[in-house]
């Protein structure tokens, strides 16, 4: 069943209270998002000048250094008793959350009159620590892994990587009630039961193999319900939910098990937005909604609607070539070819290329770009299957 959200008024509601109209927030964002950060490949050299110009509202310090000796910063703001830890780019090639964090920094620096009330509520109620770009070495290579080919998101137990130890050190010393773990997901993910890409997906990680809905998970789910409620009014039916299968070595699962309510946000595809510049805005909106909810909510009882968020599915393709000729076993076959656009670094520049994701009858797959290729041979296309 597909849940349709029909918002007759263009209002954002948080904690069942009118916050501001969408137009106000959209206009603020248009003028104030961090214009010095753009594209898919965000490096330490891109964020360092912005970190240095943060005002005295923020406390900044070098938390430590990556395997290749690149600084990793911790940024702090707020004076409230509710502690929140947010980090981005633990996978080096997943930069949308980093861009959204700097948009959020701008929000704390220069909100307008209406939005300043929200800012004041957050900063009075919460103390927030940020680690933007946890994996700067992976960002250079544009890979998930760090310089030693370790996936930080699967290193929560052994903590072989310096970056993993730095993150865990902040967790233990700061002892946050909530964590936000910011990632990107591939464009192959759609919202199950719809032809729409999953522009934003959420997860309240499990604490055990039984996926027990503990008190902590209920609190995590309640925050996600609030964020989903906002986004459904702006991009209805483009919000997905990851399966809550328990991963014993994953960061979110372990942090949740340790008592730190961890919200996973996965930034995904929006139509024609391969640089994730539109998605970053919705990522920022979700963060703002989540922080405001945490800063103003006294109870976390509204968790059941979390289960109504549709699951992610893997039925979206960037391009579908229909009826293309291929040669197999000395004969001609007619198939569909599904393409996912991928990125890699060549000569220090990020390039995009076409990757063959699916071959066969793709009539049950979705795409914004269907191409009738019945007069083309597969050899005429510049494709890669690696």
The string of pLDDT tens digits covering residues 31-43 is 999 999 999 999 9
Instruction: Specify the pLDDT at position 380.
Output: 67
Q: Are residues 31 and 97 in the same domain?
A: yes
Do the Cβ atoms of 223 and 231 come closer than 8 Å?
no
Neighbours of 188 (CB within 10 A): 21
Q: Are residues 86 and 135 in the same domain?
A: yes
- Total count of domains within the chain: 2
Instruction: Specify the pLDDT at position 17.
Output: 38
Residue 150 in any domain: the answer is yes
Residue 386 in any domain: the answer is no
Q: Are residues 352 and 332 in the same domain?
A: yes
Q: Are residues 330 and 204 in the same domain?
A: no
Instruction: Specify the pLDDT at position 25.
Output: 87
Q: Are residues 346 and 229 in the same domain?
A: no
The string of pLDDT tens digits covering residues 189-216 is 999 999 999 999 999 999 999 999 999 9
Residue 1 in any domain: the answer is no
State which of 285, 313, 341 marks the end of a domain: 313
Q: How far apart are CA 354 and CA 347, in angstroms?
A: 18
Residues in the chain, pLDDT under 70: 1-21, 377, 379-380, 382-386
HEC string of 368-382?
Answer: CCEEECCCCEHHHCC
Measured CA distances, 375 to 158, 317, 358 (Å): 54, 21, 20
Residue 5 in any domain: the answer is no
Q: Are residues 70 and 44 in the same domain?
A: yes
Q: Are residues 271 and 372 in the same domain?
A: no
Instruction: Specify the pLDDT at position 22.
Output: 75
Q: Are residues 137 and 256 in the same domain?
A: yes
β-bridge partners, 82: 126
Q: Which residues contact 18 (CB under 8 A, 6 or more apart)?
A: 11, 12
Task: Quote the domain boundaries for residue 76.
Answer: 11-313
Q: Are residues 236 and 364 in the same domain?
A: no
């Amino acid at each position: 069943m597909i849940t349709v959200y029909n918002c007759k008024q263009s209002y954002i509601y948080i904690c069942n209270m009118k916050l501001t109209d969408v137009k106000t927030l959209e206009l603020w964002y248009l003028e104030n998002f961090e214009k010095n950060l753009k594209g898919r490949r965000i490096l330490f050299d891109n964020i360092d000048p912005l970190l240095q110009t943060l005002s005295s509202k923020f406390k900044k310090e070098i938390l430590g250094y990556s395997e290749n000796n690149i600084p990793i910063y911790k940024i702090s703001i707020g004076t409230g008793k509710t502690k929140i830890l947010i980090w981005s780019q633990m996978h080096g090639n997943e930069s949308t959350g980093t861009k959204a964090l700097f948009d959020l920094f701008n929000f704390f620096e220069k909100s307008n009159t209406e939005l300043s009330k929200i800012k004041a509520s957050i900063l009075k109620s919460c103390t927030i620590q940020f680690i933007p770009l946890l994996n700067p070495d992976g960002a250079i290579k544009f890979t998930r892994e760090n310089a030693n080919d370790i996936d930080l998101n699967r290193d929560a137990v052994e903590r072989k990587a310096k970056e993993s130890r730095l993150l865990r050190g902040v967790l233990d010393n700061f002892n946050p009630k909530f964590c936000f773990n910011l990632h990107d997901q591939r464009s192959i993910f759609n919202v199950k039961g719809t032809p729409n890409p999953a522009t934003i997906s959420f997860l309240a990680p499990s604490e055990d193999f039984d996926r027990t809905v503990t008190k902590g998970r209920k609190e995590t789910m309640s925050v996600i319900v609030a964020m989903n409620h906002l986004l459904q009014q702006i991009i209805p039916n483009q919000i997905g939910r990851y399966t809550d299968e328990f991963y014993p070595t994953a960061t979110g699962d372990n942090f949740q098990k340790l008592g730190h309510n961890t919200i996973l946000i996965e930034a995904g595809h929006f139509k024609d937005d391969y640089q994730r510049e539109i998605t970053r805005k919705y990522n920022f909106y979700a963060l703002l909604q989540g922080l405001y909810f945490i800063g103003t909510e006294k109870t976390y009882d509204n968790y059941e609607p979390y289960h109504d968020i549709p699951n992610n599915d893997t039925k979206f393709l960037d391009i579908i070539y229909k009826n293309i000729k291929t040669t197999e076993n000395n004969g001609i076959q007619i198939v569909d070819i599904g393409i996912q656009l991928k990125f890699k670094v060549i000569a220090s520049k990020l390039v995009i290329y076409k990757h063959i994701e699916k071959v066969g009858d793709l009539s049950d797959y979705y795409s914004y770009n269907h191409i009738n290729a019945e007069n083309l041979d597969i050899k005429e296309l510049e494709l890669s299957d690696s």
